[in-house]
Structure 1
């Protein structure tokens, strides 16, 4: 554990693990993954709570650095919120300047000292974003020459105002980031206005289309999953995989990722089926459902990343909470990764469950967020939407008898595992 102290704090007032660390994906115009905003939220678990923005940012920076920034953001950029106190401090030695963007709010007083410090940090290679911009102001004018990105919150600015200010910032050669994009319509509007990047969970919301059919490759994976979960023998499963050449090649690539942890390279389908076993094979088939659209030119990296992170986090949580139940972790992984299949396929979860045989616990978790696995899924969803649902985390952790320390460690492990999977799957 890292302890940080500053002149205006008591020596032991800051313990970096007493917070939740969320990350929100930032996508490019092709909906490929560009970066993550790292979000901090106080964890009210004792007297040593982090109480100000400086210590909050310091905690996020220190913990991310302690565990490795690559575990937190992988190959993407990390956007970190800072205020005037943070800017004037000397905590930037924790940060890899080429990997982070420092976000400043447009209401921050642009004093000569702050402007000089930002200019100094830019000279050292740091990038800045101006956050929550709703229009022009003296502060915006003062900060604009020093920032690379301008972020606008779709909840705080009407479309009519957006149409006026976006062109001005584009003229200034700023990269525009739309925040809180929650619908496909908002995404399209911002796309038309020339926004470069998009932050929000519009990509994870299902657009249900009646009569929608699964692609041949998705059908092949689904049929294979049915064989794997039934009593079909290994030879029958191997024959089914061989009938689809791309399926076979993709499966071999996936099972050789570092995330599998195989001691030797798996070169044949027969090896894959034998070495992995039914449960692991089912896992990689579930992941392939998300990876397939990317190979047809539709970037589904964020959905693949979200699904694999959810699946792994639920698996780790279940293993921690129910260590004596051997199947609990496997069931939890299935719940996590299947929870986004309605978005992936554009059909209702009820219809999906009519095609994929699952037990009652899994069905209850997916449809009603019920039972033990439903609680784990709700916890994962709250972490993903930290700004909106962070208040639900403490009661859920209390019910699960889990500490914030343990949650953060498992979450970081899930981030790293998911990043490895996605890097090799596409």
Structure 2
């Protein structure tokens, strides 16, 4: 093993992350230019090879919106084609991916009924775009043709005669804006033939094999996700309670922030509670369901404990110093370790998140009273975390700090902060 490999291995064990990987295959237009990409589920290990379609789709959505660098994944602004199960199709409006970003592929084995047709009609009216994947005509799925923007035909599964018949029928039943996509094009002769038949886009090994997009994955703690789900299913659970449960797992907070930042237009927030209120419980419930199908940890990594410790200390300093809105200080402390989780620059990470400018400036530049508190807390983080448990979920290993050390740390932080304020 090389020294670099050993260092990477040690780094991965110190981070609350695993690896993610997504397949990505280009879709080409008639001029041989890239039009978009289909995202494909790729198992990270043997255990994930036999997961359900629901779990596979959830992992692709969650990884592409939270773990991958989305502009790179899209090649700046190319649309993403994603295979969808029936359950996901029924809840697209709650998943909330931007309509201009994604084309939802209706798989060939989905049973078409009135309920699905009505839901697709509703969502199409909201701007969502659909594609029929591996389309093979029958009396049930024919009524979907007027509702979709793309029809994908497998040139290897259909004979030349069947391919021509499908093209004629689609042009007969479909509106003029429906685009034809030829899948599994492997030879130049197939490409030319499909062009002659009127196909608009092309996908297959002739143009490119699927790329493997991989990197660090934010992996929340299993119990954290389940506890938030349980709370969301309780009508009496408040947003303050949801925020408190989320805050027990920094990796889960980061994953949620990245998903919201990439998929929703919301007002930048300086507290987690106000951000959750802007999203709503129904959408939060779907987001947690997506995360629950992904990679989950059984316990936190050391960086998660450090982030949580800094958040609690920052809030305590704000309370003891009678500063307004202590939860802002907790929120800032919690997200200040985001670069450690992802191994990416903190400034670029925060630019994509729905967080107020005040919090971003405090974390990146140490400006304002929040920034001064974060700096003061950071300068006192050498105290060994042993002794008194902090409220950080039912982890097998908890974030701890002796009471004497905790009181001493906070006193020193407040003393130093007070001197700074007196000099103003």
Instruction: Give the helix-richer structure, 1 or 2.
Output: 1
Q: What band does the TM-score fall into relative to the shorter chain?
A: 0.3 to 0.5
Q: Which has the larger Rg?
A: 2
Could you state the TM-score of these two structures normalised by the residue count of structure 2? 0.42
